[in-house]
Amino acid sequence: MLLGQRRAAETRAARRETLAIVLDGGVGVVAVCLVSLLMGRAIRRLDASVAGQRAAEAALQEVNQGLERQVAERTAELRRQSDLMNSIFDTVTDGVIVCDRDLKYTHVNRAGKEIGGVDREQLTVAQVAGGLTLRTARDAPPLPLEQWPLARAVRGESFDNQRLLLGGANLKDGLWLEVSGRPVIDEDGARYGGLIVHRDVSARQRAEEEMARAHRMALEAARLRSEFLSNVSHEILTPLNGILGMSRLLLDTGLRAAQREYAEALHTSGELLRDIVADVLDFSHLSDGQLVLEEAEFDPRDSMERVAARFAGPAQKKRLKLTLDLDETLPAPLLGDARRLEQILSNLVSNAVKFSERGEIVMRARQSAESASAAVLQFEVSDTGIGIAAVDQSRIFQPFSQVDGSAGRKYGGSGLGLAISTELVRQMDGQISLESELNRGSTFCFTAHMGKPVRQAQRLDNAAEDIAAPGNHEDKAAAATILVAEDNPVNQKLTQMQLRILGFAADLVSDGREALDALARRCYPIVLMDCQMPGMDGYEATAEIRRREAASPQHTRQHTIVIAMTAHALSGAREKCHAAGMDDYISKPVDIDDLDALLKRWAPEIGAVAGEQPSRDGSPS
């Protein structure tokens, strides 16, 4: 029973268990179902998210790959550019050197290494500079390190093409470099260092030095030529002064017809010779750029009249009519070089007379433009002579050029007149032109710019007029005695005679020392001083006269007028005379009319002049 009960209890327990299991199993199934349902959803969601993630990953990968491709492309591009830059950097024949703020080289191209002596980067400028020097000129001291181009560039300086001489033990004659520099600024705007570009210009420097040497030699040769010409012309003009002066005096004496003819021929030949010497000298000075125009007040009408008067005789001799046609409106006074203006006009009129056998020569002048401070004058010289063929018209303005340049030519002349005139006109800011027809005549026309003087106070004007007024000395009673310092005996005699004709007495001395002695003995209002004399020359003597005057007591101090009288045609002779303390200048050959005009200019200073004007026959009064 007990066994039965136990079995029954076990059976019930087993049934309960089974039920429980069954029950449990049902719940489990439900649970499993639920779980699997949920899981299914979760898995589906998971699947979806995994797929999304995969897609994202794939996209990411694609982006990544794209980026990598871009980076690779960029890197390759950069490498290509860097290679290109490097090959440019190394190919340029100019040296390029970059350094940092501490003057340490960071980039040096091949040319930089070759030219600049920088054999490797990472060196400092100081290390490289140790064995080298830099100078601005061969004889200049070496530049201190802080003045080296890289140091300047690092300091922020920019400069271009500075010429420097690099010296060193291995550089025998040194290397001439042309260096440019710039500071190097980094992306933040801060100074990173400096950059220089330099090139070897030694060959060019040598060529330039050679050219400068050749230029100096040419200048020296020109100076010697000019000095030689000047000395030779001095030697020619000194006797010519005697020939011209004496023949002129001779002509003013009572001569028989035949004698007059000979004396005239003598005088005309002398004048011709004088003109040729003057032309050659002027041309030489013009070619050397030594001829400088002077500026003084003058009346263009007077200039025209003087030139017309000079050629009236020669024109009349050829039965040519010489007419002056002056415009009413011609302004005066003007500022300019009257002597040079008259030289141009004289050359044109002299040619007109020379190349015309009949008809008329007309000189015209008018004002073609004006401003407050300047006037443009237009001058014209026309003739009815042989004319110039069109083919020859431009070349006659060239030096030594003549329409007929043959040895057997009919007309004389140096062929320099028009070339000199053209240059003088150019210096007057004008232009020269020609209209001509063969066998009908020629018209030469030129313009010249002249200044207008600024009028000062009225009183000064009057004073100037007083001085300029001719003949205001003629009432004075006693003849003034003029001291003449001149070494050439013929010229001494000539000057004495000329002065006598003009109403002056003359004391003669032969050099500067004698002039000083004479002045110590007696007070002369004027000294006519030859510049070139043996022993003490005129410049030295004048300087001594001025020294003595300055040393004399104020109340007795007197200014002796010293007038240079020289055949020395060196350019700047007039300036040299003024610098030596001379008051005026007259050049040899001295024409008696010019001497007269000069003495009249100084009449108020002379103080006493001859009352009686002797006749021009040279007989002593």
Q: Which of 385, 503, 512, 538 binds ligand ADP (CB under 6 A)?
A: 385
Q: Nearest approach, Cβ of 449 to ligand ADP (angstroms)?
A: 23
Q: Which region among 23-31, 49-57, 379-387, 600-608 touches ligand ADP (by CB under 6 A)? A: 379-387
Checking phi first, is residue 296 left (phi over 0); if not, alpha (psi -120 to 50) or beta? beta
Nearest Cα to Cα of residue 252 among 268, 264, 242: 264
Q: How does strand 481-485 pair with strand 432-437? A: unpaired
CB count within 10 Å of CB 53 equals 12
Residue 135 has what DSSP assignment? Answer: E
Shorter beta-carbon distance to ligand ADP: residue 125 or 353: 353
The dihedrals phi and psi of 357, each to the nearest 5 degrees, come to -110, -15
**Under the criterion CB under 6 A, does residue 587 sit at the interface with ligand ADP?**
no
Cβ-Cβ contacts under 8 Å for 1 (sequence gap 6 or more): none
Binding residues for ligand ADP, how many (CB under 6 A)? Answer: 19
Q: Which region among 203-211, 246-254, 322-330, 345-353 touches ligand ADP (by CB under 6 A)? A: 345-353
**Under the criterion CB under 6 A, does residue 347 sit at the interface with ligand ADP?**
yes
**Under the criterion CB under 6 A, does residue 311 sit at the interface with ligand ADP?**
no
Q: Nearest approach, Cβ of 277 to ligand ADP (angstroms)?
A: 13
Q: Which of 337, 383, 530, 537 binds ligand ADP (CB under 6 A)?
A: 383
Q: Nearest approach, Cβ of 266 to ligand ADP (angstroms)?
A: 21
> Which residue lies nearest ligand ADP, judged by its C-beta?
413
Cβ-Cβ contacts under 8 Å for 218 (sequence gap 6 or more): none
Shorter beta-carbon distance to ligand ADP: residue 193 or 385: 385
What gap in Å lies between CA 242 and CA 224, rounded to an integer? 28
Mark residues 424-463: x for contact with ligand ADP by CB under 6 A, - for none.
------------------x---------------------
Q: Is 19 exposed, middle or buried (0-12, 13-18, 19+ CB in 10 A)?
A: exposed
Q: Nearest approach, Cβ of 420 to ligand ADP (angstroms)?
A: 8
Q: Which of 284, 303, 346, 351 binds ligand ADP (CB under 6 A)?
A: 351
Of residues 532 through 561, those in contact with ligand ADP by CB under 6 A are: none
Q: Is 352 exposed, middle or buried (0-12, 13-18, 19+ CB in 10 A)?
A: buried
Of residues 386 through 425, those in contact with ligand ADP by CB under 6 A are: 386, 388, 396, 402-403, 413-419
3-state secondary structure (DSSP) of residue 320: coil
Strand partners, 459: none
Shorter beta-carbon distance to ligand ADP: residue 375 or 419: 419
Shorter beta-carbon distance to ligand ADP: residue 386 or 528: 386
Shorter beta-carbon distance to ligand ADP: residue 148 or 379: 379
What gap in Å lies between CA 307 and CA 138, rounded to an integer? 57
Q: Nearest approach, Cβ of 380 to ligand ADP (angstroms)?
A: 12
What gap in Å lies between CA 352 and CA 358, rounded to an integer? 11
Q: Which of 179, 195, 308, 352 binds ligand ADP (CB under 6 A)?
A: 352
Q: In this structure, which amino acid lies at residue 518?
A: A
Q: Which region among 52-60, 167-175, 220-228, 350-358 touches ligand ADP (by CB under 6 A)? A: 350-358
- The separation between CA 94 and the C-alpha centre of its own chain, rounded to angstroms, equals 33
Q: Which region among 67-75, 179-187, 378-386, 545-553 touches ligand ADP (by CB under 6 A)? A: 378-386
Burial 181-213 (b: 16+ CB within 10 A, else e): bbbbeeeeeeebbbbbbbbbbbeebeeeeeeee
Shorter beta-carbon distance to ligand ADP: residue 275 or 544: 275
Shorter beta-carbon distance to ligand ADP: residue 205 or 422: 422
Q: How does strand 360-370 pair with strand 321-326? A: parallel
Shorter beta-carbon distance to ligand ADP: residue 386 or 562: 386
Paired tokens of 176: 């001439």
Write out the residues near ligand ADP by the rule CB under 6 A. 347, 351-352, 355, 383, 385-386, 388, 396, 402-403, 413-419, 442
